[in-house]
Amino acid sequence: MSHNESTPIISARRQRVAHRWSLNDEIVLVRSGAMVPISGSDMEYAFHPHPDFAYLSGKGIPEAVLAFDAKDQNWEIFGPRSSAADQVWHQPVDPIGLPLSELEDWLAERQGRQVLEVTSRTDLQAAIGEERVHKDELELAALRSAAETSWAGFEWVYKNVTAGMTEREIQVGMEAAFFKAGAVRTAYPSIVASGPNAAFLHYFYGQDDILNPATRTLNKGELLLIDAGGEYGGYASDVTRSMVVGEEPTDIQSFLWQVVLRAQELAIDRCRPGQEWREVHLDSARVIGQGLVELGLLRGNVEDLVASGAVALFYPHGLGHLIGLTVHDAGGFGTNREPSSHPQSMYLRTDRVLESGMITSVEPGVYFIDALLGNLEKRSQFEDEVNWKEVDLLRGFGGIRIEDDVHVTDSEPEVLSASIAKPMRIG
Ligand SMILES: [Mn+2]
Q: Tell me: the pLDDT tens digits for 149-162?
A: 999 999 999 999 99
Ligand 1 centroid from CA 230, angstroms: 13
The answer to whether residue 236 scores a pLDDT higher than 80 is yes
Ligand 1 centroid from CA 209, angstroms: 24
Ligand 1 centroid from CA 110, angstroms: 44
Ligand 1 centroid from CA 128, angstroms: 22
Ligand 1 centroid from CA 387, angstroms: 30
Report d(CA 76, CA 23) in Å as an integer: 17
Strands 404-407 and 414-415 come out as: antiparallel
Ligand 1 centroid from CA 240, angstroms: 8
Ligand 1 centroid from CA 364, angstroms: 10
Looking at residue 336, its pLDDT comes to: 82
Ligand 1 centroid from CA 383, angstroms: 32
Report d(CA 280, CA 25) in Å as an integer: 43
pLDDT digits (tens, 9 = 90+) for 62-93: 999 999 999 999 999 999 999 999 999 999 99
Sheet with 235-236, strands from edge to edge, namely 185-186, 230-232, 235-236
Report d(CA 23, CA 338) in Å as an integer: 27
Ligand 1 centroid from CA 401, angstroms: 10
Looking at residue 88, its pLDDT comes to: 97
Report d(CA 305, CA 386) in Å as an integer: 9
Ligand 1 centroid from CA 238, angstroms: 5
Report d(CA 293, CA 249) in Å as an integer: 20
Looking at residue 282, its pLDDT comes to: 97
Ligand 1 centroid from CA 188, angstroms: 10
pLDDT digits (tens, 9 = 90+) for 96-143: 999 999 999 999 999 999 999 999 999 999 999 999 999 999 999 999
Would you say 174 and 258 are in contact if contact means Cβ atoms under 8 Å apart?
Answer: no
Ligand 1 centroid from CA 406, angstroms: 11
In the chain, list all ranges with CATH 3.40.350.10: 8-133
Report d(CA 9, CA 67) in Å as an integer: 18
* Cβ-based neighbours of 258, under 8 Å, separated by 6 or more: none
What is the reported pTM? 0.96
Q: In this structure, is the dihedral angle defined by the CA atoms of residues 163, 167, 173 and 174, taken in order, positive or negative?
A: positive
Higher pLDDT, 13 or 341: 13
The pair phi, psi for residue 319, each rounded to 5°, is -65, -30
Ligand 1 centroid from CA 404, angstroms: 8
Looking at residue 5, its pLDDT comes to: 57
Report d(CA 398, CA 382) in Å as an integer: 21
Ligand 1 centroid from CA 126, angstroms: 22
Per the prediction, the chain carries an average pLDDT of 96
pLDDT category at 1 given cuts 50, 70, 90 is very low
Would you say 417 and 150 are in contact if contact means Cβ atoms under 8 Å apart?
Answer: yes
The answer to whether residue 323 scores a pLDDT higher than 50 is yes
In the chain, list all ranges with CATH 3.90.230.10: 137-426
Q: 137-426, what's its fold?
A: Creatine Amidinohydrolase (3.90.230)
Looking at residue 330, its pLDDT comes to: 84
- Tell me the CATH number for domain 8-133: 3.40.350.10
The answer to whether residue 237 scores a pLDDT higher than 70 is yes
Average pLDDT over residues 401-416: 98
